[in-house]
């Protein structure tokens, strides 16, 4: 009658964050999550569908990510579909497929992830130049001499 199998199979169940619901904190699911409300936090699931009225403020990790609402944060998914009503402010990393409908607004980098390339190695941090005190003093003299 009840299945107590703790395997890693994908759950056929769909969880829904309704239009009047605001969730604060991180969310993890092995199944599908549909969001038409507000999600303030990181979200990880097999399949995430962000509907037109939904918004996510945080990072997204999924196998399949469909966006029709607002996302502010980094996205990583196997397959990404960005609908014409979507707005994304953040980088989008995808492994297999990326589809962007005409009219979508994406403000960030779009990058395919491969097995050989990790997303952390793609970002380089600019190094600060180190000035000696004598160089700094010379610059001040030049400015003050005018």
Domain ranges of the chain: 14-120
How far is residue 79's CA from residue 40's CA, in Å, rounded to a whole number?
23
State yes or no: pLDDT of 145 exceeds 60.
no
Give residues with Cβ within 8 angstroms of 105, minimum separation 6.
86, 87, 88
Least confident of 54-58, 63-67, 75-79, 117-121: 117-121
Residue 146: per-residue pLDDT:
43
26 close to 42: Cβ distance less than 8 angstroms: yes
Residue 82: per-residue pLDDT:
97
Residue 117: per-residue pLDDT:
55
Residue 74: per-residue pLDDT:
96
Question: How much is the pTM?
Answer: 0.71
The angle subtended at Cα 70 by Cα 91 and Cα 98, nearest 5°, is: 50
Q: Are strands 55-57 and 70-72 parallel, antiparallel or unpaired?
A: parallel
State yes or no: pLDDT of 94 exceeds 50.
yes
Instruction: Report the mean per-residue pLDDT for the chain.
Output: 81
Confidence bin at 114 (pLDDT 50/70/90): confident
State yes or no: pLDDT of 7 exceeds 50.
no
How far is residue 97's CA from residue 65's CA, in Å, rounded to a whole number?
10
Residue 32: per-residue pLDDT:
95
Query: Percent of the chain at pLDDT above 70?
Result: 70
Confidence bin at 124 (pLDDT 50/70/90): very low
How far is residue 48's CA from residue 50's CA, in Å, rounded to a whole number?
6
**Side by side, which strands form the sheet with 87-89?**
22-24, 38-40, 55-57, 70-72, 87-89, 105-107
């Amino acid at each position: 009658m009840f299945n107590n199998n703790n395997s890693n199979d994908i759950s056929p169940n769909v969880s829904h964050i309704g239009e009047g619901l605001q969730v604060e904190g991180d969310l993890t699911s092995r199944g599908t999550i549909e969001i038409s409300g507000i999600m303030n936090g990181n979200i990880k699931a097999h399949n995430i569908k962000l509907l037109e009225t939904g918004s996510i403020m945080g990072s997204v990790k999924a196998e399949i990510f469909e966006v029709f609402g607002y996302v502010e944060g980094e996205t990583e998914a196997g397959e990404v579909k960005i609908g014409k009503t979507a707005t994304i402010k953040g980088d989008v990393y995808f492994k297999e497929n990326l589809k962007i409908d005409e009219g979508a607004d994406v403000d960030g980098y779009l990058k395919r992830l491969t097995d050989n390339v990790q997303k952390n190695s793609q970002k380089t941090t600019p190094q600060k130049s180190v000035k000696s005190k004598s160089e700094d003093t010379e610059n001040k003299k030049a400015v003050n001499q005018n």
